[in-house]
Amino acid sequence: MSLVSYQIEHIKEYINSHGIWYEDVKAELLDHMICSIEERMSEKNQSYQDAFADLLNEMKVGEFQRTKLKYEHLRAFRLVFKEMTTFLTGSKILIFTLIAMLSGIICYNPLALPYISSQVLSVCLVLFALVYFLGLPIFNRKYKALYHCFYMSRVNAVTTTTLIVVSLIEGRLTDWLMQFPLAATLIYTFVLLFVAAATIVMNRTYKEVKAHAVI
């Protein structure tokens, strides 16, 4: 049994009343609720009102967005780490080599570590945030990138992780990194590869936003 238009509008109004911010979360939640209500109406012979009420007793609409955000946040790391492995093969191995050489130059120079290392990461962090949090969303507002959960989760995952690393390099890990330049080189190479891979993932993510956009 299919719902009619005014029933679907009722569900949309209910979802909007719970402060769901992201458009993709709204769409997924709406689809889930419609399918669940239609299933109850068909299998249990319930009215729309009863099926709607029973569904609300079983699910927490407010938790749906938080659960989705957690899932997308973890998915962001999986995508970035998977992309990082591609730097070990093919033409991308040149990028890996250049990043490793840059890390070695910085980490084996006591005057450069930790100041230049943290500055390089800070610049990467600022540029990343400017492009993906401000630049693209503002100049292409019609795509509503900031209203997509998967887009914002990936931006937050990268910026938060990089910010934490910068704080550690400038703070507690400073003395340790200076004592063990080889370990510092490996860590710094890993972080720079993380940022490079995250940039590639975000480019794909933005294309995904454009593909889902309703203009």
Token digits of residue 38: 């239609």
Q: Report how far apart, in Å, the C-alpha atoms of 19 and of each of 152, 156, 208 are.
A: 17, 20, 24
Total residues found in the chain within this entry: 215
Closest CA relative to residue 168, chosen from 122, 118, 125, 127: 118
Which residue positions in the chain have pLDDT lower than 70?
1, 110-115, 170, 172, 213-215
* Confidence (pLDDT) at 20: 84
Tokens 């989705």 belong to residue? 68
Residue 91 is given by DSSP the state: G
- Alpha helices by DSSP H, listed for 59-171, are 61-85, 93-107, 115-129, 136-139, 149-170
CA distance 211 to 215: 10
Q: Report how far apart, in Å, the C-alpha atoms of 146 and of each of 34, 121, 149, 206 are.
A: 26, 24, 8, 10
> Whole-prediction pTM value?
0.81
What digits encode the pLDDT tens for the residues 117-127?
Answer: 777 878 888 88
Residue 174 near residue 114 (C-beta atoms within 8 A):
yes
CA distance 124 to 200: 14
* Confidence (pLDDT) at 213: 66
- Planar angle of CA 153, 156, 159, nearest 5 degrees: 150
Residue 76 near residue 154 (C-beta atoms within 8 A):
yes
What digits encode the pLDDT tens for the residues 32-41?
Answer: 999 999 999 9
Token digits of residue 192: 């720079």
Closest CA relative to residue 214, chosen from 84, 26, 83, 3: 26
